[in-house]
Structure 1
């Protein structure tokens, strides 16, 4: 039987009564041990580590990265991760990597209805096998760009684990909780929360609610970080203290494991004779994290006009062009609208940045009827988009009183690079081939 054992040295745990405990802070230096005395003091790699453990360093950035950007953690484990069998090819054809430049994509808006949960593709699929790439850009080998994916799963990962060497994973559940067992400990993530798993960190996913669906950003580029606040000041948007890291936990069990690895856009598997979740203690600032979007401090206009959606940025992955992101993770949470003499939904626009959008729950104010939870839309660079006819007419004639947008949560993966949908996405029955019709009724209303 697998027994997960944990003990934390740190502060910032979840309130009493929770089965899971966490350490607070984004980018913080954390320290946690599941057995007292397992963490060495002073030297990171002593000649003999406490409890005869093996020290192992996981570096998420180059050694010479600036101190404030450097991410690494020391793990103290019962066996090092080099102890495994030989890798063999593994079949996962739905999860592709980078942009397929051979796809001839017209410059048109695209939308997908919610991806069905109960069909042949999800029958017996776990988190890894239930993953499909909708659209991607960039190149994992060049460490630029992202992939936008959906997962649909109905089976927990038991004696198998996964590690992505191509990018970090931003996981956005839409239906069903996820329990992520990672090398550093356990995170439970529900819809409305997100999880961030660093590149190269081993984890597995359990489904306590059964059938589950959600979205994933596979980030090939610079690691996600909190955006700068500029004129907003020292407080606002997502606060570092609201991100939660796991405490040390390990599986006290024996028996075979299967390790699935994504490496260079291909999938491989290797047998192990022990659990990869055998880390007794760890310290560092490279760690899986969870964040509850309900803690996001929304900024908005309290006079007139409509600020840019960048005020909703939770995390950003910078590119080599300052101020132009490899990826911004943006949310549209519940909020008050109070602007005077202002068209309140998002205006019609064309952007340099490309937008992949999903809906977690509720109704999106620019598409009240056509955009459903579990679906997605794609508006590439300089592709016009905005409110449909219904939303435009309603907002143009609304009595502008203070209005609470409630029971809604949408998000965007916004990137400087053009997204290219996969053949799976283009051939999916969920593709809304009539999407452009939502603007057909917008007539010329010019009155000179």
Structure 2
């Protein structure tokens, strides 16, 4: 509801933080939010004494001297400083969560692979115990590369918290709903949404609707950012306003608790006597966010030919080599197909990048059979891939009217590094052994005579 104020007499917005309850709009913005009135210092970062007896603390996501357009940090005003949220560490083992470099000598990563959806077991699984690493790439110790995981979560974390010093985490739900209760606020996500959790941010994961299954890209390198649009201009693809960052939320709760930390590919836990989610107010540009993939505005060919799949990039993370990503997150959603005299599905291809795909729901146009929701495929660097015979024949002989490709949503984690399969992906996950045969019945059409065959 709008309100009338004096003296100007104009109607003003009812809220100062956007139109989505619980969230602030924008990507990479400098936000400010407080859960208690007057908790956020004004005009300075580190007053001698903070209101409510809070402690001021900076969380830096980049080096102090990073260029200003890349510099990311957030000032937190919290009940206890973070030094109270860890104590002595004990090394633990999460055997299914792997980090690069992880090259199993008994696993062949060279090949085209596809998996059916992973199924839930009878054993309750949390965010930590239910993580299953499928591939790793690069090196967590030098902060390059990535890992891809599937999560199978049936149970909320109780008095248990986690953060990764190794990586930024991109979460892509496929079934079920999750809540990420973080130091900087609460994010709820469902299928067709994603969440980005920054490196070093403490959180716990709760199951709102289970069982929950989805995909995770663990980014060891530079942070995700929006790709440059170039001549496309200022609009379409992923628009910054559609990213939502949570408002401040905290809990002042004493209870024996465990904080698990991922550091240099190893897991450690520490015991504390309270919840670490105690940030009452904060301001800055280093924060978690969510994004609704249904707001992604695809662009494409409107006369002929099929553009490169990079046209569907949602987020990218730089590698240090201009134009070559550490990771691209690419979305294939419903869209209109209108190109004339054109083979409309993705064409046959061999690529310097390694492409790992997941199906959120529906049918992917290049693989109408076998690539099912919850499933995953991997086409490693410089390995050929493309449509199967059914897709090729259908698209080659279709009556090319304007057609809406509906009820589909798949994605790709693409990296410049080769992706190595884990033993779990090779031996325990439901690998489709006959996937390579999907191209075996493609016919030779060439007979030396001219004319379209």
Instruction: Give the TM-score normalised by the residue count of structure 2.
Output: 0.94
Distance 1:217 1:314 in 2: 14
Partner of 2:67: 66
- Any idea what SS the aligned residue of 1:176 has? strand
1:110 to 86, 102, 113: 113
Partner of 2:80: 79
Structure 1 residue 9: Cα displacement: 8.3
Partner of 2:283: 283
1:270-349 alignment runs, 5 A limit = 270-349=270-349
Partner of 1:51: 52
1:196-207 alignment runs, 5 A limit = 196-207=196-207
Moved more, 227-236 or 101-110: 101-110
1:94 paired to 2:96: yes
Distance 2:116 2:210 in 1: 22
Structure 1 residue 101: Cα displacement: 3.3
1:163 paired to 2:148: no
Structure 1 residue 252: Cα displacement: 3.3
Q: Name the Cα RMSD after superposition.
A: 1.3
Partner of 2:214: 214
1:265 paired to 2:265: yes
Structure-2 change in CA distance of 1:37 and 1:9 (3 Å): farther
1:233-244 alignment runs, 5 A limit = 233-244=233-244
Instruction: Give the TM-score normalised by the residue count of structure 1.
Output: 0.95
1:368-383 alignment runs, 5 A limit = 368-383=368-383
Partner of 2:18: 12
Structure 1 residue 21: Cα displacement: 1.0
The Cα offsets for residues 365-384 of structure 1, whole Å up to 9 and x where unpaired, read as 11111101111100011100
Structure 1 residue 124: Cα displacement: 1.1
State whether residues 117 and 376 of structure 2, in contact with CA within 8 Å, keep that contact through their aligned partners in structure 1.
yes
Structure 1 residue 231: Cα displacement: 1.1
Distance 1:107 1:202 in 2: 36
State whether residues 109 and 420 of structure 2, in contact with CA within 8 Å, keep that contact through their aligned partners in structure 1.
no
The Cα offsets for residues 240-278 of structure 1, whole Å up to 9 and x where unpaired, read as 111000000011322121111101101111111111111
Which aligned segments of 4 or more residues in structure 1 are displaced greater than 6 angstroms?
Answer: none
Structure-2 change in CA distance of 1:143 and 1:429 (3 Å): closer
Distance 1:434 1:202 in 2: 42
- Any idea what SS the aligned residue of 2:143 has? coil
Distance 2:209 2:394 in 1: 38
Structure-2 change in CA distance of 1:433 and 1:406 (3 Å): same
Distance 2:222 2:16 in 1: 28
- How many residues were matched structurally? 433
Distance 2:33 2:153 in 1: 31
State whether residues 10 and 23 of structure 1, in contact with CA within 8 Å, keep that contact through their aligned partners in structure 2.
no
Partner of 2:389: 389
The Cα offsets for residues 67-117 of structure 1, whole Å up to 9 and x where unpaired, read as 111110000000011113311112201001013235353532111111112
Distance 1:259 1:341 in 2: 58
Unaligned segments of structure 1, at least 5 residues: 1-7, 15-19
The Cα offsets for residues 13-71 of structure 1, whole Å up to 9 and x where unpaired, read as 41xxxxx5100000000000000000011220111111110011000001111111111
Partner of 2:6: none
Partner of 1:21: 22
State whether residues 351 and 383 of structure 1, in contact with CA within 8 Å, keep that contact through their aligned partners in structure 2.
yes
State whether residues 10 and 32 of structure 1, in contact with CA within 8 Å, keep that contact through their aligned partners in structure 2.
no
Distance 1:10 1:411 in 2: 34
Distance 1:347 1:252 in 2: 55
Structure 1 residue 397: Cα displacement: 0.9
1:354 paired to 2:354: yes
Structure 1 residue 11: Cα displacement: 1.5
State whether residues 9 and 32 of structure 1, in contact with CA within 8 Å, keep that contact through their aligned partners in structure 2.
no
Distance 2:165 2:366 in 1: 37
Partner of 2:41: 40
Structure-2 change in CA distance of 1:72 and 1:10 (3 Å): farther
Distance 1:164 1:28 in 2: 23
Partner of 2:177: 177
